Structure 1
């Protein structure tokens, strides 16, 4: 049995990880630490809230004494660090919060882990600090460039990706300098249930339901690799169980899509769903374009954002060879699950 501290566990990816872990390892203890900022929602944890091995703490990762207390009181042996400011647009208009949470916050966690696990000797020989990062630290790719691997040089292009790159380096440094048992995973774009509707896929789905424009940056041909969030949780599980201490592992979805093609696919699928299911049509009467089977008419091209990376792609051969990782969900199946989740849970 393990005792996990999951930071940012009320956010999109963190909450899905908590659901996955408690379903697959119900005897483990899971402690969630979350500041409940705009993207964190305690309701995301309702499916596990009554589990006897679940504990929620409302707090900030920058509060080092609080983290130390949680590590000691719950005898934590595994820390999975999701908590982060993650929206590129917000990092452009307000980078300070990204420096505070992603760099200072990560350092706060590392200091607490070093003090409790190494200096005080709690779980000194058997602990893991796992840091969840992003493919954006690698920069951008041309159309024919090979995908990012774990040896790709870092070249972040936004305040968000720069802050994540810095936090990655801090985690690496705490392993090499102090011997903290760390691992890092760099993932591609996640999608799935509980996603806050500021990111592309949930924004498109919810805007269609509200009959609002679907804003597409530039020409919409920016390419991303899309990873279903449960596949991401499965990948982290493998890193924790089989990953080598001090190593980084890429976790991808093997699903490269241009933004405009994703939006068109979502429009097509939602048109079909509403055509086949009149109950949904009755629930979302304000979605007039969707009612007419013409959701794609809402697509609107807007000025591109500053420094918009053109393409991301993940090479996860290392994770396949060392961990046995492969994504289970195809984009077509995962996007249908995501759309149906929003149809059942979203209220206008």
Structure 2
């Protein structure tokens, strides 16, 4: 199977993804709040916004289904009429649009949680991906057969229902094809580096033929030096400083007028959390958890083998899988 057989090109024709708009809006709200407590802002709205909702809004965690609420918050923050306020209201309306993953959500919240809606939306806008996966081949690189196989093994028993598995596999397929479309587009392509635990290369779940096809795809990607995609195999047995099953650091465009803060998504088991970096140009500190995870990313970078050694490790795993099939 060639790289192009997995990386299907599909144009989206969409504007700014809702999670990017929400992320940028939330960062600006936090800067505008300054040293005031969130509860003070809520009180200044006449309690027309709950503290929990405002906290999630400031964290960029929620799609804004009622953009007019942001106008009330801006009044409470004393953001004066003008270009900046107009920009924040435009972000609020952009953050109200549903992302593509929402259609997989209908009636299936248990397998398509809020964190996945947000992650897939942020991925649509990211200019740089740094992904660490210790459980499976990262979703953006999975073949359809591998995705189905892994989903059957990684879903909890309570959710291991044929219909729910199909939802997860369908969402992963769409996620993969959208990433591929961005790589195939004429516009600037996202840069991506994927770090995969060595043990993942040997996990065939009783289907070595599926793993063989998946490993061949990884080798195709490694050998295609025209793709802005790097794959490294993690071999260090030293524990990471923070518990991680899947980690993704997403970097966004950094224009002078619309610089979006970076985000790190950390998933442990079935629990995922987002941590936002600082808003460029403001001097605001990053989330402390972001700082810790960013340091972990740098640590993985330093310890992972280079291109040639990673390629050799994938080839060794492929050879062993082929021997098991005989």
TM category, shorter: under 0.3
- Greater per-residue strand proportion: 1
- Greater per-residue helix proportion: 2
Q: TM-score, normalised by structure 2?
A: 0.27
Q: 1 or 2 for the larger relative contact order (CA 8 Å, sep ≥6)?
A: 2
